[in-house]
Amino acid sequence: MNTDKDCPLCHHNCKIGRDQPISKFTVEGQAIIREWGVLVRRLKTNIKAHQLNLSVICDTLDYQTAEDIVGPLLELPLLTDCAVRLGQASSHALQRLAENTVLRLTGRPTHHLENSFRFLDLPREIQWQILGHTDLVAPRPIEWVSGHGIVLPDCSFTSAQCTCWRLPTALFQVSKGIHECATRLFFSKNKFKLPTLDWSLDGGDHSCVLRFLAALPRHSLQHIRSLHCVFSSLEDHHLDPDSQAWANWHATAAFMSRHLSLPDLTLTIEDTTSRGGPSVFNLTTGIDDSAETRRAERKLHQRIAEPLAQLQGLRDLFLHFSVGGYGKFETPGEQEETVLEKRIMGEAYDSRAHGKYAEEVQRREDIKRAERPVFGPDGAQIWPLY
């Protein structure tokens, strides 16, 4: 059983099951389809209209098999609600088949799936509002990895409303006008989460953010509103003044200063490096090196923050160098972050008041909401199954 957590807001059954997909062109697949037909016919004779909420998960290898799975369902009485998953891989055809099946089973019209709409005749402001409800605005930060591109979730296509996100490349190719609108919306409404380091490509020089920004079309850079840079596996020597990583981080900040709209930009810097617990014992001397380790860590974080002084007029700066409690009172680590934030943004700057922890609080609430159990008509818990 795999309850993939990449889609915490998805339909509660979307990620259930990772069995091998079936095909009508195999003996095993034909047997499953026959048994499925018997089951649906029995279900048909024992339910009344508008009383059943049905979820069907059957991953298929081809469209013909998917048609054989949904075909018997269309003989059922009208359902109160329905969700159908027909595959684990991205397939527009399977998604349309699942949507059409659900609409017919729940008595809703399907003609809108075939009719076109003259979207380009709408005023630009209306187009902008409509596009804001498409996948141009991702449900969570967009992660990018050097050499691989945007990280996409392993999404299963379902007829139910699903937040498994896909980059809507087609919207950038409709026309010049839509391309401009989509570019502005995509870069202004999304948060981009970027690792500074990719050992497989740069050997530890922390140039990934710079490569990402430099690869973007220049006209898109002015639309970026939220950038999240993540330092990982960061050692004390990585940002020494004579290191390539130090030069690259300075160059990254300088690039931001020249090309990004700083008054509109929220910049988040995070260090996720694990450096041990409260006590750090030197294996050679047996002496507790905790204090020395913390001093080295503070010095390292000061070096991270130093190049950010170039970003005069930045809208918001959020530094995450410690595990915060997100409580009313600051931890010692959070106090150090505040000192560095004020050094760059000014003494009057208050990152908490500007929403430094708002995203983390919302993320925790979403997880709690997604983990609520689902109960069947008889009151028995049907999800999770354990």
Query: pLDDT tens digits, the chain, 386 residues: what are they?
Result: 233 444 444 444 454 455 788 999 999 999 999 999 999 999 999 999 999 999 888 889 999 999 999 999 999 999 998 888 888 776 778 888 988 899 899 988 766 555 667 787 888 888 888 988 888 998 888 888 777 777 766 555 555 555 567 788 888 888 888 888 889 999 999 999 988 876 555 456 678 899 899 989 999 999 999 999 998 877 777 778 888 888 899 999 999 999 999 999 999 999 888 665 555 555 566 666 667 778 888 888 999 999 999 999 999 999 998 765 555 556 777 888 999 999 999 999 999 899 888 877 776 676 566 556 666 656 677 666 55
Cβ neighbors of 301 (< 8 A, separation 6 or more) are: 271, 319, 321, 336, 337, 340
CA 275 to chain centre: 27
* pTM of the predicted model as reported, rounded to 2 decimal places: 0.68
Alpha carbon distance 340, 304 (integer Å):
10
Cα-Cα-Cα-Cα dihedral of 56, 59, 63, 66, to 10°?
Answer: -30
Whether the bond between 384 and the residue before it is cis, its omega within 30 degrees of 0, is yes
**Token pair belonging to 212:** 């990402």
